[in-house]
Structure 1
Amino acid sequence: MQPIQGTPARPPGQEPTQAANNAGEQPLSTLQRTVLERLVIRLIALTQQQSAEVWAGMKHDLGLKNDAPLLSRHFPAAEQNLNQRVETATQNHTTRQVVSQLTELLSQGNNRQAVSDFIRQQFGQTALSQLTPQQLKTVLTMLQNNQITIPQPQQRPATERPLLPAEHNSLNQAVTKLAAATGESGKLIWQSMMELSGVKTGELIPAKHFAPLMTWLQARQTLSTHSAPTLHTIQTALKQPLDDTEMRAITEYAQQTWQATPQTILTTAQVQDILNHVFLRRTERATGTPEVRDIQPIYSPFVAPIVDTIKSISTRPGFFFIALLIALALFWLVS
């Protein structure tokens, strides 16, 4: 009896090597493709990517051309790649949700200042973007559980509302521009604004100071580019120019403080002092006590016009005698 020609005998359960190689070159099975497609769908939901973009990215990571088919032997590496992408996308999605919740809470009360103080003390950072996902989650949890101390502002009259977020942002942008133009610290500029507004640490700037502060910031930025500023330069730099009364008061202030005329070139410190003076006049934060130079003599309302007239006519020789007679008559009446 002749042996059967063909495949040689092999032990039971042992697959031929060639068959194993051929199996690896087969297209993905239905089960394998279903597993990969589910991972792709999860990734699309987390990242808003397109399906083709996800498949192309995965093939690129595996070293395959975009038009190359996935085979059964590629399945383990493809599944691992997609799982890693899903894990990363999940972490990023969670972080975005935490940041969104934090942003909503920061707009309430004094939470922004409280969180700023907390992350500076606990993590040595000054911005939420510098925190790790776990640190962000810690901040959110503590804020939700009222475990972060909220600084309470000093109570103001109901009519003096604090700055709105949009107003605060506008001031902050102007401060940033001024700091860039002058090289001065933004923190010091804010400190100057707080002192001008008469508020203390933890107290909010009243909204009524928004317009004068914006004028103060913009004028400082404009004047920082002038090499020889004068009172007239300051007048043109102000968004709300000085009226006649203000200009007269500022001119007198400069004359009495530095013997400066409207044409005198002012130093940077003098310019800032004058702008501070303008701000204080416009916000009516003067003490109300008249300075010595502002006190008028008791006789001023009655005598000043006559004195001015005498001064005027005394410059004319023909009228000097008349002026002298008027002065003697006035002296006789008062005595």
Structure 2
Amino acid sequence: MQPIQGATARPPGEPPSTHSAAGEFPLSTVQRTVLERLITRIVALNQQQSAEVWAGLKHDLGLKSETPLLSRHFPAAEQNLNQRLNHAQTTHGTRQVVQQLSELLPQGNNRQAVSDYIRQNFGQTALSQLTPEQLKSVLTLLQNNQLAIPQPQQRQATDRPLLPAEHNSLNKQVAKLAAATGESSKLIWQSMLELSGVKTGELIPAKHFALLTTWLQARQTLSQQNTPTLHTIQAALKQPLEPAEWKEITDYSQQRFQATPQTLLTTAQVQDILNQVFLKRAERQPSALEVHHIQPIASPIWAPFIDPLKAISARPGLALIALVVVMLLLWIVI
């Protein structure tokens, strides 16, 4: 018997070739590259091993671990990996948001403000119960200082010392800056004490907490800049310079360093300018009104007689004469 024209001869009883039907071929180079790129992105986000992802993919497709993927499996495999990637991206993003929130919550009254906000707006009492979008909205509000502190805890800035949570927050930022610059944490703290106007061993006033946080964050950011200028300093500040502040700092840089906004600055010059920003902003902080600064609304009607009476009371002889004169005048009137 002659084989059918065009067909490949095979021994009697052997099953048809698995490559004969469309889709039964192994993955093409393009298909495998697409899947491998998806798996690489997944591994980078969730720190899994690529072998684990391949094994999980085959399990989801109902294949045994030793069964190779074929071209007909490609559409389902690509969809599965895209779903895994989306999940990994969401989880990774949420993890970053939670980390940023954990750094901001100890500062000031942020923890109480966030607790009240999520209870009033989301009906929840814990961050772990929020959706990723809700977590992002809370983080944005905190970063933009748009979360109101609960009214019972609102208070005017005073000279109270830093709270333990505020001190710990600064300590973490100091450690990061020391690691980035190689400067000792002790010297950084000493600089902060000097800027705050307190001596070694004294406590930093809480009113300087926000300014010190901005100072530390700006130094951390600028330590990674190879060509810092006044413009990069402006960009590094959490609270950018207002027009009046910008003019003060540019004038200061011109007078002290002959530096324009485009001039490349040294590390020492950058730190000097950041110190000036801190000091000028600290000067503008409102202070509590002291009693001896309060003036009467209007002088009492007897004010013109106060000074003469003081002079008379200081000299007993004059006081006696004045008393006699007053008695004579009263006798004449009566």
Q: TM-score, normalized by length of structure 2?
A: 0.42
Greater C-alpha Rg:
1
Q: TM-score, normalized by length of structure 1?
A: 0.42
